[in-house]
Amino acid sequence: MVIPTTYEESHISEPRINDRIRVSEVRLVGPNGEQVGIVRVEDALRLAQEADLDLVEVAPDARPPVCKLMDYGKYKYEADMKAREARRNQANTVLKEIRFRLKIDPHDYGTKKGHVERFLKAGDKVKVMIMFRGREQSRPEMGVRLLQRLADDVSDLGTIESMPRQDGRNMIMVLGPTKKKADVKNEQRRRAREAEAEAAKASEQSPAEQAPAEQAPAPVEQAPAPVEQAPAPVEQAPAEQAPAPAEQAPAEQTQATAPASAQASAAAQPAKVPSPKPTPASGRPAAGSAPKPSPRPRAPKS
C-alpha cells in the first residue's frame, strides 16, 4: 500500500504572514509600493522586523509568491471597513404590487397613484395589476388605457419595464424607478447629515443670542431705584409737620368757646372735701391723703 507523501492544504481565507510563509524566495514589495525584487524569505523577514511591519503574502499563486511589507492590523481594519461600506450601499430592490379595478373611482385612483409614486421614490419596482370580472374580460383595451394613463402620470419617477400583458383574468405591467435605490439611500443620508449640521449650528448660536438678552435688563432694573427713594421726603413732610397745627387748633377753640353757664354752675356747687383714705398696715399715710387732726386734750379728773 502506497501512502501519499503530499497533502493538499485546506483553503485559508486570511493571507499568510511572517513565519507562516513556507517558501524559500519571494518577490518583495516595499511599504510604499516600490519593487524590491526577488529576495530570500529570511531577508524579507529581517527587513520587516527592522521597519516594525509585517510580511504579508498578497499573491500566493504567483511564482515566486508576492509579499508586501505592511501593518497587517491596519490592513485588516481597512478591509473590514470597505466590506461594511459595501454592505451598507448594497440595495435590494423590492417588487411592490398594487391592484386596480377596471371601473375605479377617481378618488381611489388618486390614492393608489400616490402609493405608486411613494414606491418609486424609495427606489422599488412596482407591479401594477388590473383584475377583470365577468364581461370585463372581453374589453382588455380598457385595461391597457388605464395602465398607460398611470404610466404617464408617474413618468417623472419611473418608466415602463414590462409592457401591459394579459395573464388569465388579470393584466400586469411593471414600472421601474428612474433612480437607483443606492442613490436614493445616499441622498437620504446626505440630507440627514445636513439637518444634523444645521441643528448643531443653531445650538451653538442660541447661547450667544441669549447672553446679551440676559445682560440687557440689568440696567433697567437698577434705574428705578432712585425714583422709588425720591418720594420718601414728600410723604414724611405732610405726615409729621402739617397735621400738628390742625390737631391743636380745635382744642384751643373748644376751651375758649366753653359756655359761661357751665362755669357758673361749677362755681355754685360747694367744694367737696376728699374723704381720708385708710392708712395702710405700715402706719404711713397713703400718698395724697389729708393728715388726721390731733386729738383734743382731756381735762384732768378731780
CA gap 64, 55 in Å, rounded: 15
Is residue 237's pLDDT more than 50? Answer: no
What pLDDT does residue 247 have?
A: 42
Is residue 36's pLDDT more than 70? Answer: yes
pLDDT in tens, 17-30: 888 888 888 888 88
What pLDDT does residue 171 have?
A: 94
| % pLDDT > 90, the chain | 22
Question: Which residue's entry shows cell 400616490?
Answer: 114
Residues 6+ away with beta carbon under 8 Å from 130:
99, 100, 101, 102, 143, 146, 147, 170, 171, 172
Instruction: Calculate mean pLDDT across residues 227-241.
Output: 47
Is residue 31's pLDDT more than 70? Answer: yes
Instruction: Calculate mean pLDDT across residues 26-36.
Output: 85
Q: Per mean pLDDT, which of 164-173, 238-247, 269-278 is the most reliable?
A: 164-173
Strand 66-70 vs strand 95-101: parallel, antiparallel, or unpaired? unpaired
Is the pTM higher than 0.95? The answer reads no
C-alpha cell at 51: 521597519
C-alpha cell at 261: 353757664
pLDDT in tens, 146-173: 999 999 999 999 999 999 999 889 999 9
Task: Kindly list the distances between the CA atom of residue 119 and the CA atoms of 109, 130, 171, in Å, as whole numbers in the listed order.
Answer: 15, 18, 20
What pLDDT does residue 221 have?
A: 53
Nearest to 173 by CA among 186, 162, 158, 188: 162
- DSSP, res 167: E
Confidence of residue 106 (pLDDT cuts 50, 70, 90): very high
Name all domains of the chain by residue range, CATH numbers in brackets. Answer: 18-88 (3.10.20.80), 95-182 (3.30.110.10)
Instruction: Calculate mean pLDDT across residues 189-198.
Output: 86
| % pLDDT > 70, the chain | 63
Phi-psi region of 287 (alpha: psi -120 to 50; beta: other; left: phi over 0): beta
Instruction: Calculate mean pLDDT across residues 294-300.
Output: 69
pLDDT in tens, 5-16: 444 444 457 788
